[in-house]
Amino acid sequence: MLPLKEKDKVIVQQLLSAGCCARCVLRFCCVSIQSAYRKPCQETLGELQAFISDTQNGSSKDPAALEAVGEDDKSHDASVPGAGEDPPSKRIKLETATEGQPEGGAGAEEQLNPKNQESHVCIVCLGILQELCDATQAMKIAEAVKAEDYEFDTLVLSVSLPAQLCVREYSCWLHVKNELRQKNVAFCKDDIIQVKEAFKWVMQGLVAKELSGVAVVTKSVFEVSVEFTHPETDADCHFLAAACPDCFKPTKNKQSVFTRMAVVKALEKISDAKFLKDCPCPPARPATVCSPQDVQCLHLSVFAAGRYNKFSRSLPQTPWVIDGERRMESSVEELIAAPVLSAFRAKAFNFSSSGREDVDVRTLGNGRPFAMELLNPHRCRLSREEMKQMQETINNSSDKIRVRDLQIVSREAMSRMKEGEEEKTKSYTALIWTQSEIQEEDIAFIDQIKDLSVDQKTPLRVLHRRALAVRQRVIHRMNARYLDPHHFYLGLKTQAGTYIKEFVHGDFGRTKPNLCELLKTETDILELDVESVDVDWPPAIPE
């Protein structure tokens, strides 16, 4: 037996005659027992028919409920003066709401004929809960998921409905509400079960069964989206744009301004009088059923992290493209990404690192921490052994880079890499050229310099992409290693973010003090190596 109350008779009667499917009728009766939706539609329809034709029962409990069915507009108008008796919660003016309701004898006849109902597409769900919500559809969804070959334990089913469904739902609600109003019965829109909910209640179990018992849950890293469109009734929303123009502003990413969100917003704003002027109540009967679109699968990102060395002075960190033309054949990012993408079977990635080096700078020592967000990975559970193999694949693919400590990390852990980046230190070795001849003792004083504070105006070479500012950075320690009268190696330990090249050549006086001033001769930097990036993340993996 359906858990329906006497007052639901009006709702059932009204909606069946208007052309609602049995499941939509249950929704409007606020039936929240999931199993009620899982019964075959035909069976539910039969029960609903029996419920409203049960005149004996009905008349004994609430004679008004049955009398009200099929009443014409006149009787609505007659009750207008009594509007003051309505509960104060009723927001909508009755006199406007009763206009244009095309109900009457025809509807009352129709509801008694189940065959006639069967041949009609539901005026609210547009067939979704009638024909697109059963074992056959569940099998199609499961097949689409299987074909993608994802690795997952649970999934969340998400449903995207045509926006006009909201308009139709609203129209039906007004239709029923006005009828109930006659009997001083309040009918809150929020109590109606959503189409999405009802769809999931029916489908979740069926899809789970088709996927050999995988749990279909409300929250999961793996999302299966089902989308329905209904071009026939797309124009249903259009009158809202004239009524509430501010709700429908064009946005870059959306094809249509009639998004579900915009329509819901407009429905909250529009007065019932305006709504009923342009929208039939109840909604017109559609000729066709919604079309299901391709099932979309999306796995939340997985994050991988490690450290890389760069041994080449002609390898950029990221692809170097100027005016659409590639300048260098590869990049650190691409050399690392290729094997990682294929192992996780991910569609795309975002690469980030703790700072970056110029194309001509090597990164030695323990390397530079990096992390990759792998978008929509089909695999997500790689073992330690598999990660190690992947690392070897990267390392064998090129002698320009080397990766260590490659591991899967959480999104939260990734922020550790950027945390306090400014406070971290970095060590470098630079090959310096001097214009004047130098002796070993000329540069010995450099070793004594401790915590030298340097003001750096944004370097000329990056001024095109960074704002002009003065940065203060600290060079903690330096040491000099004499090579010949015009060359020496300079070791530096600095605060992260120090512009080393500019400190050496002075950048036309934009960095002060600089090495030229300290040595009282022109100096330039010929080679630069990063010796260490002192970020203790990701954790080292013992060999």
Q: Enumerate the active-site residues.
A: 358
Please identify, using beta-carbon distances, which residue of 125 and 237 lies nearer to Zn ion: 125
84 CB neighbour count, 10 Å cutoff: 6
Interaction between residue 123 and Zn ion (CB under 5 A):
no
> What are the counts of helices (DSSP H) followed by strands (DSSP E) for the chain?
23, 17
Please identify, using beta-carbon distances, which residue of 291 and 479 lies nearer to Zn ion: 291
Please identify, using beta-carbon distances, which residue of 164 and 301 lies nearer to Zn ion: 164
Interaction between residue 172 and Zn ion (CB under 5 A):
no
CB 464 to Zn ion: min, Å: 59
CB 268 to Zn ion: min, Å: 23
CB 256 within 8 A of CB 238: no
Q: Per CB under 5 A, which region of 16-24, 31-39, 54-62, 338-346 contacts Zn ion?
A: 16-24
- What CA–CA distance (Å, rounded) separates 472 from 263? 52
305 beta partners: 371, 407
User: What string of DSSP letters covers 141-195?
Assistant: HHHHHHHHT---SEEEEEEE--THHHHHHHHHHHHHHHHHHTTT----GGGSPPH
Cα-flanking dihedrals φ and ψ of residue 474, to 5°? -115, 130
Interaction between residue 180 and Zn ion (CB under 5 A):
no
- What CA–CA distance (Å, rounded) separates 207 from 211? 6
CB 538 within 8 A of CB 354: no
Which of 306, 366, 354 shows the shortest CA–CA distance to 496?
354
Please identify, using beta-carbon distances, which residue of 132 and 336 lies nearer to Zn ion: 132
Q: Per CB under 5 A, which region of 41-49, 129-137, 413-421, 519-527 contacts Zn ion?
A: 129-137
Q: Is the peptide bond before 538 cis (omega within 30 degrees of 0)?
A: yes
Interaction between residue 240 and Zn ion (CB under 5 A):
no
Please identify, using beta-carbon distances, which residue of 7 and 120 lies nearer to Zn ion: 120
Which of 384, 355, 383, 371 shows the shortest CA–CA distance to 412?
371
User: What length does the chain have?
Assistant: 543
Task: Describe the crossing of helices 135-148 and 195-210 by its angle, rounded to 10 degrees.
Answer: 60
Place of tokens 């979704």: 128
Element (H, E) at 524: strand 523-533
Please identify, using beta-carbon distances, which residue of 76 and 230 lies nearer to Zn ion: 230
- Sites for Zn ion among residues 24-43 (CB under 5 A): 24
Interaction between residue 390 and Zn ion (CB under 5 A):
no
Which amino acid belongs to residue 231? P
CB 149 within 8 A of CB 211: no
Please identify, using beta-carbon distances, which residue of 21 and 302 lies nearer to Zn ion: 21
Interaction between residue 125 and Zn ion (CB under 5 A):
yes
Q: How many residues bind Zn ion (CB under 5 A)?
A: 6
Q: Per CB under 5 A, which region of 17-25, 169-177, 241-249, 255-263 contacts Zn ion?
A: 17-25
- Sites for Zn ion among residues 350-379 (CB under 5 A): none
Structure tokens at 410: 């959480």
Which amino acid belongs to residue 436? S
- What CA–CA distance (Å, rounded) separates 176 from 50? 20
CB 130 to Zn ion: min, Å: 6
Q: Per CB under 5 A, which region of 125-133, 181-189, 399-407, 534-542 contacts Zn ion?
A: 125-133
Provide the 8-state DSSP code for 536.
-
- CB-hemisphere CA count at 13 Å for 384? 4
Interaction between residue 21 and Zn ion (CB under 5 A):
yes
CB 131 to Zn ion: min, Å: 10
Which of 493, 532, 527 shows the shortest CA–CA distance to 309?
532
Interaction between residue 129 and Zn ion (CB under 5 A):
yes
Please identify, using beta-carbon distances, which residue of 122 and 530 lies nearer to Zn ion: 122
Please identify, using beta-carbon distances, which residue of 20 and 335 lies nearer to Zn ion: 20
CB 26 to Zn ion: min, Å: 9
CB 21 to Zn ion: min, Å: 3
Interaction between residue 122 and Zn ion (CB under 5 A):
yes
Map residue 530 onto helix, strand or coil.
strand
Q: Per CB under 5 A, which region of 80-88, 128-136, 229-237, 485-493 contacts Zn ion?
A: 128-136
CB 121 to Zn ion: min, Å: 9
Q: Per CB under 5 A, which region of 32-40, 123-131, 158-166, 217-225 contacts Zn ion?
A: 123-131
118 CB neighbour count, 10 Å cutoff: 12
Place of tokens 């009763």: 98
CB 228 to Zn ion: min, Å: 12
Is the sign of the CA dihedral 240, 244, 245, 251 positive or negative?
A: negative
CB 125 to Zn ion: min, Å: 3
Q: Per CB under 5 A, which region of 62-70, 118-126, 181-189, 529-537 contacts Zn ion?
A: 118-126
Interacting residues with Zn ion (CB under 5 A): 21, 24, 122, 124-125, 129
